[in-house]
Chains A and B, each alone.
Chain A
Amino acid sequence: MRPAGLKPPPKHAPRRLHSEADLRTLQRLMMHAIVQPLTADDDLAPRWRDGRPMAEVASEFIKPNDRLTSFERLQIYARGYWYRVIDCAYDDCPGLRALLGEEKFSALIRAYLAKYPSRSFTLRNLCARLPQFIREAPRWTAPHTALAHAVARFEWAQTVAFDGEARPVLTPDDIADVPPAKLRLALQPYLSLLALDWPVDDYVLAVKKRDALRGEASHAVDHGLRAASRRTASRPRRRRVFIVVHRYNLQLYYKRVDAVAFKILTALAAGRPLAQAVAAAGRGVKPAPVRDWFATWMELGWFCRWK
């Protein structure tokens, strides 16, 4: 499998570098060697794509020294790459890790990054395509693929809420003169609307609490604490929930909303004018709660000008 976005590797390394094209060829070859998955022992794969020994390929472009072969020198970089990106995914996905267990999570992340290596200058975006990959390759998360997908979406929404763009907040005065039939309200770019079949917000909070306790327990001698830290957060039971992942005063929050409120927010996010968005929520919607919801949402700064 060729990593998404990378052009095929050259058959051989250039013997001399006379041009930019030669430099690109050498770099593309080394890049392919580094991002190909490691073996189960975290070694560089012994064979190259064309069946040649990897040691032979490495020796084409990397000098050995009296302590390390070309293969071993290349392996330092391959391990460095994989350990770095796996560490990053571990930090970004504590819920998914707890759900799948260390071994399965590691296999998932390695498979994900083998297909979708980083396409961004920042590691912040490393797990952006993880929910998509979980759908595409369910075998890594079976039999809990749907739940894993929900947790991955929720965890990516947290990254977005942490440092996503905040546009100027709309005030009541900004919209006072616009009739509801024409008023479009955009949601803040850092905000995510998630309709999920599991209460993953509670689950991820429980995992974080457990991990925090585990951190404390590592400095403690209290056996009760140690025992508590070994308990895993139990898998959530299926239940439809509507969550808004957002930030307020620079802190991350997960706010549960009513199904009707969620419909309104989704319609607004899709660009429907206010009157249509409220109508889309159904005939039974009563004005009083809708007024309260909007008051809260305005206060939380969720709305900005529609572009």
Chain B
Amino acid sequence: MAKVVIPFGPQHPVLPEPIQLKLVCEDEKVLEVVPNIGYVHRGIEKGAEIKDFQQTVHMIERICGICSFIHGMTYCQGIEDLLGLKIPRRAEFLRVTWAEMSRLHSHLLWIGLLADAVGFESLFMQCWKIREIVLDLLEMTTGHRVIQSASVVGGVRRDIDPNQVAQIRAALDQIKKGIDEILPVLLNDYTLKARTVGKGVLTQQQAISLGAVGPTARGSNVRQDMRLLKYAAYDAIDFEPILETAGDSYARALVRTKETYQSINMILKALELMPAGPIQVHPEGWPQGETTQRVEQPRGEVFYYFKGNGTRYLERLKIRTPTFANIPTLLVMIPGCTLADVPVITLSIDPCISCTER
């Protein structure tokens, strides 16, 4: 049988975002995969050189609709570093609270998408129903459900009052109950397991050499989590990254499911430890010098490089998003699998193309 090249994407029902994988197939078996990105490039890095550094926060948040808050927070941390600004402790805890809420809703969204990819519609709907509670919490505390715009250079824009804290605690309880309800289905369902167990295996060695990040790396037993760098208020919150050893799609699903519980605990811990005080300081001066930031997003490590030249405008801003680091892992995960497994394996790295292309 001759080799056939089958294009997967840029438009594909499983993956609403545009990435193309050229699949070199022999019969049903995929021999080779060639990824092709660049369909939704928006020039945000260049835009950051044109807008003033405080306006850029709002643009940076639009890189991604899911980890919007974490992008904004990373950018603010970098600028604060350049300005030598120390933000109030309460603001750091508030940032952790919202960052973990973003992670929680991102993982719930992903579990839903996985269920959808294998054709399990009722689990998909159930996951997104639970996710809606987190989005409501974000809207209640920050003013918007998707683009939170809560982080600014020098702190945060909104505070969480005791009344809202009580509401958050009640809602998190509800979310926990919801996840408890769907977890046994996710862990034991025959169809789901048949589509994920042993599919898209990434060994620990491959994960390290290909530079995998986030749940993709942790699913292959690589202890890598940027929250261990103790940025923002993560120094006050103890946690241990969740690791799985199998390295297949199922292991990555398990990591993300367990991380939802971890995020709930971290939000509760942050709310408990949050000190009283101001939430914002006024930034003085203009960014000068170079710095980098590494922050853990729901999909893994995001890397920012900043270069300021002492004016209102940054000279260079470079963003390396987690999906960009995870795409090379597809080159070893997909070859050898059947054509029908490609969508689920691709989805198992939780690709966010909008992030990748900026």
Interaction A to B: no
Interface residues, chain A, CB within 8 Å of chain B? none
Interface residues, chain B, CB within 8 Å of chain A? none
